[in-house]
Amino acid sequence: MHKRPRIHSALALSIAGLLFTAGAVQAQTAQTAAQGTAPAAAKAPAKLDRADRAALTDMAQANMAEIATGKLALSKAANPEIKAYAQRMVDEHTKALAEVQALAQAKGVELPKELTVKHKAKGTMLEALSGDIFDRTYMKQSGRRDHRTTHEKLRDGMDKIKDPDIKALAMKMRPVVEQHLLAADELIARTARNATGTAGTPGNDTSTATGKEPTPMKK
């Protein structure tokens, strides 16, 4: 007569124990799963080599400078062809800058938000000019000289870049910069001929702004 209550009590304790054990196992499984996914979500980007960080910074600065001077030329240039060139610079360098910024963010690199003192000084000098003098200076400085400098950096610094993504972006930017440089040379030469009234004859348009035969750019 007294055994039945004891059996019921023992059975109840066993069920409670099983429920507690199942709950503990479920909680442990959930905790393990959470721990397994947390490091992947919070994984920090690998630290970049100094040359790779410098390459991203240089690309950002070059694009920012061309955008700034291009916008200035849109408001100050007298020649419609130079305005058109400036618009192309603003459009294409804005697109390139966005790619540099996206890659820098993915690599954990904080890019400068302002131009260097050197670039700011060039902009200040251009801002003080107007008319034909502005047009010539903008094309020779931003169109030719700055694009040539950027192209040389992209070409000569390629071997120093170790990160494959940064190297790929530099290789993508280089032909675009070269196209901008060649377009600047052609526009400088054309406006110079128009200014002197020597349009030349068809088939002989091989000169550049330096008056020399164009030299193929190094690849």
List, as own/partner pairs, every contact residues 43-51 make where C-beta atoms lie below 8 angstroms and the sequence separation is at least 24, other chains included. Answer: 44/108, 45/106, 45/107, 45/108, 47/108, 48/107, 48/108, 48/109, 48/163, 48/166, 49/162, 49/163, 51/157, 51/160, 51/161, 51/162
pTM: 0.70
pLDDT at 194: 87
pLDDT score, position 57: 97
Residue 136's pLDDT is: 96
Cβ atoms of residues 85 and 135 within 8 Å: no
* Per-residue pLDDT, 47: 81
> Mind listing the pLDDT tens digit of every residue in the chain (219 residues)?
454 555 455 444 454 454 445 554 454 544 544 454 444 444 556 688 899 999 999 999 999 999 999 999 999 999 999 999 999 999 999 999 999 999 999 999 999 999 999 999 999 999 999 999 999 999 999 999 999 999 999 999 999 999 999 999 999 999 999 999 999 999 999 999 988 875 443 333 333 333 343 444 444
d(CA 97, CA 78): 27
Q: Which CATH number fits domain 50-196: 1.20.1260.10, 1.10.287.110, 1.20.1420.20, 3.30.43.10?
A: 1.20.1260.10
Yes or no: say if 70 and 93 are a contact pair by the CB < 8 Å rule.
yes
The confidence score (pLDDT) of residue 18 equals: 43
Closest Cα partner for 96 from 174, 182, 187, 156?
174
- Contact (Cβ atoms closer than 8 angstroms) between residue 56 and residue 154: no
Q: Where are the domains of the chain?
A: 50-196
Question: Which one-letter amino acid corresponds to residue 104?
Answer: A
- Residue listed under structure tokens 């040539």: 148
Q: What are phi and psi of 207, to 5 degrees?
A: -85, 160
Tokens of 65: 């400078």
- 164 close to 51: Cβ distance less than 8 angstroms: no
Cβ–Cβ contacts within 10 Å for residue 175, how many?
A: 13
- At 37 the pLDDT is 45
